[in-house]
């Protein structure tokens, strides 16, 4: 059986525990997913399973020639398989894969924040607020030497597009899994906005 499933973020809520403390919950529509392809070491060089999620309303030109079982889905994603795990094409994967108390890693695309400066994007402190400085309060400062090496190194933290990146939240605890409603409740926040696509995998890190 695969260790992951595709889902869609529905929103957030909260719950009060027996001790009276409040905990944030994220509601996820997890599955059902259909196995559309099984990859093996002999044929593809690695073991993986391709899952389809959400019915496709319109087909892209690149999807026209695909087999019927594959082009019926809007999203196709791969999950690695262990050497001893076995699945079959057409098999259904639902939220019963998880149970209360499991730890999961959830991957999504974070919310895009547009163009941002270094203070907001990288939490820089900014320049001095006194001694004649009037326009350096939110400036990045020096970004490199002039003579040597005479260029700006790759990866230098500067102003730019903030957010809209692939992010994984690790070791989130499953609060409840409801196969009847395809609903997964997870403690804490997950990347992305409402209706964002999520990949939910069993965590191998432990507590």
Average pLDDT over residues 57-67: 69
- Give the pLDDT score at 68: 62
**Confidence label for 23 from pLDDT (cuts 50, 70 and 90):** confident
Query: What is the distance between the alpha carbons of residues 189 and 170, in angstroms, rounded to a whole number?
Result: 11
The predicted pLDDT at position 64 comes to 65
pLDDT tens-digit readout, 124-165: 998 888 888 888 899 998 888 888 888 999 999 999 999 999
pLDDT at 65: 61
- Please say whether the beta carbons of 188 and 203 come within 8 A: no
15 within 8 A of 175, measured Cβ to Cβ: yes
The per-residue pLDDT for 97 is: 87
C-beta of residue 169 within 8 angstroms of C-beta of residue 191: yes
The neighbour count for residue 139, using CB atoms within 10 Å, is: 15
**Strand 114-116 to 160-162 pairing:** antiparallel
H helix runs in 86-177, sequence order: 118-122
Domain ranges of the chain: 4-102+168-202, 113-140+155-162
How does pLDDT run across 77-90, given as a tens digit for each residue? 888 887 666 778 88
pLDDT one-digit tens code per residue, 24-60: 999 999 878 888 888 888 888 888 888 888 887 777 7
**184-207 pLDDT per residue, tens:** 999 999 999 999 999 999 887 655
pTM: 0.81
Q: Please, which residues have CB within 8 angstroms of residue 19's CB and are 6 or more apart in sequence?
A: none
- What distances in angstroms separate CA 86 from CA 2, 3, 40, 79, 142, one per listed residue? 8, 11, 10, 13, 55
CB of 60 within 8 A of CB of 41? no
- What is the pLDDT of the chain when averaged over all its residues? 86
| Strand (E) or helix (H) holding 201 | strand 197-202
Give the C-alpha separation, 120 to 138, whole Å. Answer: 9
> What residues have CB less than 8 Å from 125, skipping those under 6 apart?
119
Residue 70's pLDDT band (boundaries 50, 70, 90)? low
Enumerate residues 6+ apart whose C-beta is below 8 A from 105. Answer: 168, 169, 170, 171, 172, 200, 201, 202, 203, 205
What per-residue confidence (pLDDT) applies to 106? 94
Instruction: Kindly state the average pLDDT of the residues 86-110.
Output: 88
Contact 3, 78 (CB under 8 A): no
């Amino acid at each position: 059986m695969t260790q992951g499933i595709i889902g869609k973020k529905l929103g957030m809520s909260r719950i009060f525990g027996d001790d009276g403390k409040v905990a944030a919950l994220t509601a996820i529509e997890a599955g059902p997913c259909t196995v559309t392809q099984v990859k093996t070491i002999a044929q593809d060089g690695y073991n993986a399973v391709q899952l389809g999620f959400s019915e496709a309303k319109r087909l892209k030109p690149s999807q026209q020639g695909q087999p019927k079982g594959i082009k019926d889905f809007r999203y196709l994603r791969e999950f690695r398989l262990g050497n001893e795990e076995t699945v079959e094409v057409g098999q259904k994967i639902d939220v019963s894969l998880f149970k209360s108390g499991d730890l999961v890693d959830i991957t999504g695309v974070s919310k895009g924040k547009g163009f941002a400066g270094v203070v907001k994007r990288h939490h820089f402190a900014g320049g001095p607020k006194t001694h004649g400085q009037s326009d350096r309060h939110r400036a990045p400062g020096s970004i490199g030497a002039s003579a040597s090496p005479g260029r700006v190194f790759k990866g230098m933290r500067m102003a730019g597009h903030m957010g809209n990146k692939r992010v994984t939240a690790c070791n989130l605890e499953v609060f409840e899994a409801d196969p009847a409603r395809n609903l997964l409740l997870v403690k804490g926040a997950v990347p992305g906005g409402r209706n964002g696509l999520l990949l939910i995998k069993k965590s191998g890190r432990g507590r």
